[in-house]
């Protein structure tokens, strides 16, 4: 097999796989290097298993809102088996075939940049092979969880999202450190599966702090209703664990120590750049790879290096990594033909405007574009419009006591939406309409003619426009 390819992709997560697919579609040859499982974090330890664990809880909550329906016993084993099936029992042969069928060459091993257009691949047996790229190298190595420097924490071997999403025995007493998306989703999933005493420890004053404030407030109310204890403005000052899997004692900045069977740390992620040879490309190590809007790394002579997905630190979301990968692949193909002319379709504009994101809790939280606070920080001339989603006929038909809220952030000069947030059961499926309106900058006067069907929750669109004055 030749060691020379048009493009070498390092990392076969969703971003890397899509970059390879796109360059092959454009007629270039590609090699994909993966040290663990093709499919990446998303397929085995992140998006897919977490949603497989959350879906039964969402359905149970929905049944609880409908009189006359009753849930039987929860079969935790069956839920975990379905999770295992959704993650292909950690067998990546299907994903590997997808790559080889592109066709691209798949190489299992650790990839490391070794100077311009070169990648060294170290296989599990220690053998090293050096690949050369004719056009480009795409780094798509993802991210790793951050463990904060709290005394005793690393020694206590806490769970990260990997252990939480691949849980086999659900701890009865669970402590979760963090108040962001992963912390909220996994606290609710594990609580529903049997972590009866779940405590979420949040350094700040709210859950989901980067979203509209009402998102965290409604989620907090749901946590309280389900019996999940949230401790705000609280820090862990020390962690004690005597035996590897024994109970863990958390010393807190507020109140008495908390004893739990397991501690999940969900305090963010950092780019997986500690040992990928960035210095050989003239870049700083251990940082996100800064890219331009065509995903080309800044500061690399001759511009042969690209970075897509979590590793560039733009948006730590699968769909955004895949979007970046499509752009990157097309740009590499166009540049290889000398045709690239900075076309708008080959430039990332979705990340900066505020990517679409869903938090799959009950209630679901979803948003696209800017929050009110972000729009004000940017100095945009905005007005916000809120609506109680429980008042929409379609929502009340979905279940009794439907609680939710919508917010539209309107640029009053341009008469377009620059941000939308929905919080409510099943709200995730409302998001794409908002994404189209925000991304395509649909004028409100045109949006007015997009008539939502009766009786769907989408009628909230009409109510938002009416509240705005249309
Ligand atoms: C619990 C959890 C739930 C999430 N849920 C969602 C969700 O619902 N929706 C969503 O959009 N996002 C979600 N995310 C975020 C999402 O998982 C990431 O944004 C996504 O996986 C990033 O894709 P990627 O291809 O950049 O990186 P990854 O998926 O991390 O893939 C990187 C790949 O590179 C490989 N690799 C690393 N270094 C090397 C090397 N040196 N050589 C060879 N291979 C290497 C890794 O083994 C891995 O396979 C979630 C994250 C977590 C933690």
b/e per residue 437-460 (b: at least 16 CB within 10 A): bbbeebebeebeeeebeeebbbbb
Q: What is the DSSP letter of 101?
A: T
What residue has token string 């779940």? 198
Specify the CATH number for the domain of residue 199: 3.50.50.60
What residue has token string 């990546």? 92
**34 CB less than 6 Å from ligand 1?**
yes
Q: Which ranges in 382-459 belong to alpha helices (H)?
A: 393-398, 431-439, 444-447
Name the closest-CA residue to atom 51, ligand 1. 46
What residues make up the domain containing 377? 363-468
Instruction: Give the distance (Å) from ligand 1 centre to CA of residue 99.
Output: 17
Ligand 1 site-directed mutation target among 51, 138, 142, 267, most atoms within 8 Å of CB: 142
In a domain, 60, yes or no: no
DSSP 25-80: HTT--EEEEESS-TTHHHHHHSHHHHHHHHHHHHHHHHHHTSTT-------HHHHH
Note the pLDDT of residue 221. Answer: 98
**190 CB less than 6 Å from ligand 1?**
no
One domain for residues 458 and 378: yes
Sequence-separated (6 or more) residues with CB below 8 Å from residue 73: none
Tell which residue, 239, 242, 251, 264, has the closest CA to residue 145: 264
One domain for residues 9 and 128: yes
In a domain, 421, yes or no: yes
Q: Which helix (H) or strand (E) holds 322?
A: helix 318-336
Alpha carbon separation from 251 to 227, 231, 319, 410 (Å, rounded): 22, 13, 38, 45
Note the pLDDT of residue 201. Answer: 98
What residue has token string 């989408």? 458
In a domain, 223, yes or no: yes
**178 CB less than 6 Å from ligand 1?**
no
One domain for residues 104 and 12: yes
Specify the CATH number for the domain of residue 397: 3.30.390.30
Note the pLDDT of residue 72. Answer: 86
One domain for residues 338 and 305: yes
Note the pLDDT of residue 1. Answer: 63
Q: Which parts of 146-234 are beta strand (E)?
A: 173-177, 197-201, 229-231
In a domain, 249, yes or no: yes
In a domain, 12, yes or no: yes
**11 CB less than 6 Å from ligand 1?**
yes
One domain for residues 262 and 276: no
Asked which of 267, 302, 318 is the last residue of a domain, the reply is 267
The residues pairing with 107 across neighbouring beta strands, listed in sequence order, are: 33
pLDDT digits (tens, 9 = 90+) for 305-361: 999 999 999 999 999 999 999 999 999 999 999 887 667 777 888 888 899 999 999
Note the pLDDT of residue 336. Answer: 95
Number of folded domains in the chain? 3
One domain for residues 192 and 324: no
Distance in angstroms (rounded) separating the CA atoms of residues 51 and 228: 19
Note the pLDDT of residue 339. Answer: 82
Asked which of 208, 238, 267 is the last residue of a domain, the reply is 267
One domain for residues 17 and 118: yes
One domain for residues 391 and 439: yes
**15 CB less than 6 Å from ligand 1?**
yes
One domain for residues 275 and 326: yes
One domain for residues 110 and 29: yes
Instruction: Give the distance (Å) from ligand 1 centre to CA of residue 51.
Output: 15
Give SS3 for 317.
Answer: coil
pLDDT, tens digit only, all 470 positions of the chain: 679 999 999 999 999 999 999 999 999 999 999 999 999 999 999 999 999 999 999 999 999 999 999 988 999 999 999 999 999 999 999 999 999 999 999 999 999 999 999 999 999 999 999 999 999 999 999 999 999 999 999 999 999 999 999 999 999 999 999 999 999 999 999 999 999 999 999 999 999 999 999 999 999 999 999 999 999 999 999 999 988 779 999 999 989 999 999 999 999 999 999 999 999 999 999 999 999 999 999 999 999 999 999 999 999 999 999 999 999 999 999 999 988 766 777 788 888 889 999 999 999 999 999 999 999 999 999 999 999 999 999 999 999 999 999 999 999 999 999 999 999 999 999 999 999 999 999 999 999 999 999 999 999 999 999 999 99
Asked which of 295, 329, 350 is the last residue of a domain, the reply is 350
One domain for residues 200 and 325: no
Name the closest-CA residue to atom 7, ligand 1. 47
Q: Cβ distance 444 to 417 under 8 Å? A: yes
Tell which residue, 364, 206, 191, has the closest CA to residue 262: 191
Instruction: Give the distance (Å) from ligand 1 centre to CA of residue 40.
Output: 5
Distance in angstroms (rounded) separating the CA atoms of residues 96 and 76: 31
One domain for residues 214 and 340: no
Question: SS in 3 state form for 70-82?
Answer: CCCCCCHHHHHHH
Distance in angstroms (rounded) separating the CA atoms of residues 376 and 221: 27
Taking residue 111's Cβ as centre, other Cβ atoms within 10 Å add up to 26
Sequence-separated (6 or more) residues with CB below 8 Å from residue 364: 58, 358, 422, 423, 424, 425, 426, 427, 428
The pTM (predicted TM-score) of the whole model is: 0.97
Name the closest-CA residue to atom 17, ligand 1. 42
Note the pLDDT of residue 245. Answer: 79
Distance in angstroms (rounded) separating the CA atoms of residues 289 and 291: 6
């Amino acid at each position: 097999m030749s060691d020379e390819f048009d493009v070498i992709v390092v990392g076969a997560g969703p971003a890397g796989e899509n970059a390879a697919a796109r360059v092959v579609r454009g007629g270039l040859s590609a090699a994909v290097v993966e040290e663990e499982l093709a499919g990446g974090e998303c397929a085995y330890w992140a998006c897919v298993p977490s949603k497989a664990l959350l879906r039964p809880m969402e359905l149970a909550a929905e049944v609880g809102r409908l009189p006359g329906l009753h849930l039987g016993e929860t079969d935790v084993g069956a839920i975990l088996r379905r999770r295992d099936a959704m993650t292909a029992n950690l067998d990546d042969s299907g994903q590997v075939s997808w790559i080889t069928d592109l066709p691209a060459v798949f190489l299992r091993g650790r990839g490391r940049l070794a100077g311009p257009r070169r990648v060294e691949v170290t296989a599990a047996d220690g053998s090293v092979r050096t690949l050369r790229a004719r056009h480009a190298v795409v780094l798509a190595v993802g991210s790793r969880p951050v463990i904060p420097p709290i005394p005793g924490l690393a020694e206590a071997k806490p769970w990260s999202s990997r252990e939480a999403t691949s849980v086999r025995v659900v701890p009865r007493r669970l402590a979760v450190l963090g108040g962001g998306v992963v912390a909220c989703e996994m606290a609710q999933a594990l609580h529903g599966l049997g972590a009866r005493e779940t405590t979420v420890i949040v350094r700040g004053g709210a859950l989901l702090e980067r979203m509209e404030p009402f998102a965290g407030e409604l989620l907090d109310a749901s946590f309280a209703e389900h019996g999940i204890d949230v401790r705000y403005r609280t820090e862990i000052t020390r962690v004690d664990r005597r035996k590897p899997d024994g109970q863990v004692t958390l010393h807190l900045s507020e109140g008495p120590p908390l004893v739990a069977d397991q501690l999940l740390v969900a305090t963010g992620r950092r780019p997986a750049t500690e040992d990928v040879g960035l210095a050989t490309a003239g870049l700083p190590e251990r940082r996100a790879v800064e890219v331009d809007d065509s995903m080309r790394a800044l500061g690399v002579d001759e511009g042969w290096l690209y970075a897509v997905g979590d590793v560039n630190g733009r948006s730590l979301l699968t769909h955004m990594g895949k979007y970046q990968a499509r752009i990157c692949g097309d740009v590499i193909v166009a540049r290889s033909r000398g045709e690239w002319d900075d076309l708008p379709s080959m430039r990332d504009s979705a990340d900066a405007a505020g990517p679409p994101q869903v938090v799959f809790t009950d209630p679901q939280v979803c948003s696209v574009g800017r929050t009110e606070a972000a729009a004000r920080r940017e100095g945009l001339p905005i007005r916000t419009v809120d609506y109680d989603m429980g008042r929409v006929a379609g929502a009340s038909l979905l279940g009794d006591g439907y609680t939710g809220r919508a917010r539209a952030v309107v640029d009053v000069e341009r008469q377009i939406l620059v941000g939308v947030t929905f919080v409510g059961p099943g709200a995730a499926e409302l998001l794409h309409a908002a994404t189209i309106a925000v991304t395509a900058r649909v004028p409100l006067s045109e949006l007015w003619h997009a008539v939502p069907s009766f009786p769907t929750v989408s009628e909230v669109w009409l109510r938002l426009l009416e509240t705005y004055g249309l």
